[in-house]
Every structure is written in C-alpha cells, then in structure tokens.
Amino acid sequence: MNFSYKDIFEKKYFPIILIFFFTLILYSPSIKIPFVNDEISFIQRNQPANISELFGLFNKKDYDGYYYRPIGNFVSGLSTLVFNYDYVYYRILNILLHAAAGILLYYFLYYLLSDNNKRRAIAMFAALFFIAFPLNDYVIFWQTDLFDRLMLIFYLAGLLSFIKQKLKPGFLSLLFFLLSMMSKEMAFSFPLIIFLITYFFTNDSKKIYKSILTSLPYVALMGIFILLRIIIFNNDVFTAKDAHSSGTLIDIIKNYSLFSGLLVFPFFIREIQYFFLSHKLLTAILLLPIAIPVIYFLFKRIQRELLLLFFILFIVLTIAPASRLFLRWYLYLPEVGFAAFLSYLVFMSKFNSYKLSYILAAAILLIYSSSLALKEKSWVINTESSVSLLKDCINKSRDEIVKSGEVNFLTVPAKVDDIPIFQLGFDKLFNFYGGFKKPVTVNLYSKSYLASLSDSISSFVQGNNLVLSQIEDNYFILFNNGKNLNFESNNFMNENRSRLTIEMTELKNKVLFTFSKGKFIRFKESQ
C-alpha cells in the first residue's frame, strides 16, 4: 500500500484539528501571565453585579468616552460573572478566541479559492501563519484587546457567510458585520472587502457595477449604525477629540510604512526601532538594494497571479480605518491578508514539487512560532516578576499605606522588553494586588521604559528635590502634575527624558517609592 504525505493533509477535518491544537500548544504558556497593565481597570469598568446589569452594558460607551463597543463590554462582563478574577480562565478564553479566528480564516480561504486545486494547503498554512504571527503577543496576552479578537471573529464569519451565499448579501453576513462593528471600528473596512471579493471572484462584463451594487447593503448598514451611534450615544468618533480623527496625510503615509514593515519583518521590534532611529542613512542604504528586487519580483508575480493583488489590497483596505494612529495590535485584521498572501505565494510558486512548498511553509511557520514562543516566555517571566515585586512592595509598607490612604510613585516600569507591565491603569492594579478594604489613592509622576527589570535608575536627593536618571537607551515618560515637577534642560528628545527632577515640597510625610534594579525602593523623609 503506497502512502503519501498528502494523504494526511487532504483529510477533511485534519486542518481544523491541526489549527486548534497548534494554537493550544503554542499559547499554553500564556495561562501563567498574571493581570498586568490596565487589565483590572478594563474588567472592573465592565463588571456587572448580575445578569440584568450585564445587558445594561449595551447602553454604555467604552472607557474613553468616544467609542461604542458593546459586544466587547458584554463579553468582558459575562467573563467576570463566570471567571471572577481568576486570570487563568481569561487567558484560556483568549486562546480559544484566537483559535476560532484561525479556523474561520481557514474556511474563508478554502471556500474563496474553490477553483484552486491547492486551496486546502493554502488555507491551512495561511491559518497557521496567522495563529503564530509574532506580533500577536499584545492581541492575545492582553485582556484589554478583547475588542480586536471579537471583531475579527465576526468579520471573518461575515465574509464566510457572504461567500457561501454565492457572493450575495444575506441576513447572516449582514448580522455578523453588525456584530463586528459593535466590537470595534476596524470593521468599517468590511464593505470594501465585499467589493474586492465580488470584483475578483465574479466573471461578469460589468464587474465594477456589480461589485458596487453588492457592497451597497453593507455600506447602508454601516451608515445607519454610525448615525445611530452618534445620535443615541453621542458618539464622538469623527471629532477632533478622538485620536483617530487627527493626523495628516504624511502621518498616514508614515503609519502605512510602519505597518507594512512590521508585517514583513515582525521580529526584534525594540532593537530594530533603535537601529533605524540611530542609523537612518545606513538603514536606507541597506534596505534599498533589498527592497527594489523584492518589489520587482512581486510586481512580476502579481501580473501572473492577480490573487496576490487581492490579498495586498485586503491588507491596505483593512489598515485604512486605523491608519491615523500607529498601534501594532491594529494589524490583527490585516494579518489575515498577509498570511493569505504569504501562503498563496509559497504554494503557487514555480516549485515543481508540491513537497518543497510544504517544506518552505513549514520553515516559515517554525520561524514564526519560535519568535512568538520567545516573546511569550518573556511575557511570563517579566509579568510574574513584576507582580511579585509589586506585592512585596505593598506588603512591606502595608501598615503605612493603609494609615496614610495614599502612596506616591516617582516612577514605575511601564514597559520591560516592550511588554506592558504597569503602562496603564496602575492605580487599579495597585489596589487589586493590595487587597485593601478601602481604596488607596495612588499618585504616579513618571513611567520608565526599560530593556530589563534589572536596569539601573539612579535615585538621590538634591536639596529639596528627588532626582532620577537612567541609562541612555531607556527613558522616562513624564506626567503634568503642575508645580511638583521640574525638568532638567539637558537630554531632551521627543518629550522623553533620561533625567527627572521632582520637588519634595508636597511629598513630605507621604509613602514614596521609586523603582531601580528590579526593586521598588522606599524614600524616607530622613533622606
């Protein structure tokens, strides 16, 4: 009996089983990540006391007061009712949602490429590339980004329903589109993708006309949703108050370049950033000889394989709603197009052997998985260490903190190795791990961005001031606390400083900490 490696891959449910268990295995270490950053703030602001309050979250704006994202708030509230504050269950939920998105991506591409005899392999590896994409650490490990995970699941379900409806608008695709918009604004690109699919996958002499007509119901639904959002919920998404409504054309072009760079090379983000900023001319000299032949190669391939153009346009259009603001988790949806592009390129290459395509795809997947696993390990180590240090800080000074009812931090590690430890919502996190009967007021004067928890921050008293300074590669983000802050005139660049001076005038007799060499250090009045 002859056996071929394709016998396994061609089994109907094998890709689904593989995608699901691959996700579980790759992301299983993340269940060790404790609550950090603004996760407690996010959970608490959507915490209902009972089921009736849970449905009240549909009548609520998001935390910044500008967005209406009720699906994310509802799922967050439901999770809190079920899980309480056990972070393990939240991490498991995140993994399962990511696995669901990967499976939907597989089915989306499988049915989209119905005329392609390699569609199963293309769809399967596209889903695996997407699952293991190295930039997914924020999207999957950070509970607050629940919005993106839910948005993508409904987005892909809507596209899949549209395809199975033979490229015709149907109730299910419109419903999933609505749920996607109620999850996050990135879904506003959906009608554009419907236009693309209709145009590229319809054999009609009037492609453009048919594509416009097909996308109109989705455009109408989006218009009604936005209008109701503005009228009923006084939503300010299109005003100058909203970060997404600001920015120039130059900013958009710059952000597209940054997004594209991260998709193509999603590794060593911190190191690459520093290198580019420090060696701009050298970077241009090194990249141009590489970029020009790559662009020429892709141009020639696109002429022969128009579906590559479809996937590129998918990336471009799904970035559009977030193009005025550069945040890397905005790539979760565009990753779908990039993963599909990469897989299609591999399996539709000139390789005579189908087996070589599998080998190349497996090599790419190994690189992605290894990079993601290393980042995941860093998340586990740094978050566990940071939470342990914070708890130790609280326990050593608990009596004084409770008596004062207030604690002051000169600086906390906002990010460590690009991992958001205490970047946002630090006051809620402090009170959560302190377990105080009465909430303690937390004042924070600056955040430190560190390469490692062991990085040194020099702290000393100078007259009536406290002075902090750190190594050149790290920096402080300052807060405007009025007269309590004085800044050194030197070492100033992009509003980041390597030296920070704080007046002690209003800090006498208060519990006061700074952070250095992996420890929270207590300042006493005697100093």
Q: Are residues 282 and 422 in the same domain?
A: no
10-residue mean pLDDT profile of the chain (527 residues): values are: 51 90 97 95 89 83 72 94 95 98 97 90 97 94 94 98 94 97 94 96 86 96 90 59 59 81 78 58 65 65 76 94 83 96 87 79 96 95 96 92 89 90 93 94 86 85 78 66 49 56 70 88 60
pTM for the whole structure: 0.88
Whether residue 27 lies inside any domain: the answer is yes
Residue 424 shares a structural domain with residue 474: yes
* Radius of gyration of the CA atoms of the chain, in A: 25
> Residue 466: enclosing H or E segment and its boundaries?
strand 465-470
Look at residue 206 in the predicted model and tell me its pLDDT: 84
8, part of any domain = no
Range of the domain at 504: 397-523
pLDDT of residue 526: 35
Among candidate residues 378, 407, 434, the one where a domain is terminated = 378
One domain for residues 290 and 419: no
- Are 267 and 359 contained in the same domain? yes
Q: Is residue 7 part of a domain?
A: no
Q: What is the dihedral of CA 358, 362, 368, 372, to 10 degrees?
A: 140
Task: Name every residue whose Cβ is closer than 8 Å to that of residue 59 and which is 6 or more positions away in sequence.
Answer: 70
Largest CA-CA distance found in the chain, in angstroms, rounded? 87
Q: Are residues 473 and 501 in the same domain?
A: yes
Phi, psi angles (nearest 5°) of residue 505: -50, -50
Read off the amino acid at residue 187. A
Last residue of a domain, one of 346, 378, 410: 378
Residue 390 is assigned to a structural domain of this protein: no
Residues 362 and 410 placed together within one structural domain of the fold = no
Whether residue 369 sits in one domain with residue 436: no
Instruction: Enter the tokens of residue 391.
Output: 């708890």
**3 state DSSP class of 142:** coil
Helix (H, G, I), strand (E, B), or coil: what is residue 446?
strand
CA distance 514 to 469: 11
Query: Does residue 248 belong to any structural domain of this protein?
Result: yes
The number of helix segments (H) and strand segments (E) in the chain equals 20, 14
Helix axes 70-83, 146-164, angle to 10 degrees: 120
Contacts of 144 (CB under 8 A, 6+ apart): 37, 38, 39, 41, 42
Domain boundary among 326, 345, 378: 378
Determine, yes or no, domain membership for 16.
Answer: no
Residues 392 and 385 sit within 8 Å (Cβ to Cβ): no
CA-wise closest residue to 133 among 291, 337, 417, 402: 337
Q: Which residue do the tokens 């910044």 mark?
A: 64
In a domain, 15, yes or no: no
Res 229: pLDDT:
84
DSSP state letter for 177: H
Q: Are residues 337 and 482 in the same domain?
A: no
Question: Do the strands 519-523 and 441-444 form a parallel or antiparallel pair, or are they unpaired?
Answer: unpaired
Same domain, yes or no: 183 and 309? yes
Residue 90 sits in the same domain as residue 159: yes
Domain total of the chain: 2
Residues 352, 456 within the same domain:
no
Residues 66 and 174 in one domain: yes
* Gap between the Cα atoms of 503 and 181, Å rounded: 47
Flag whether 383 is in a domain: no
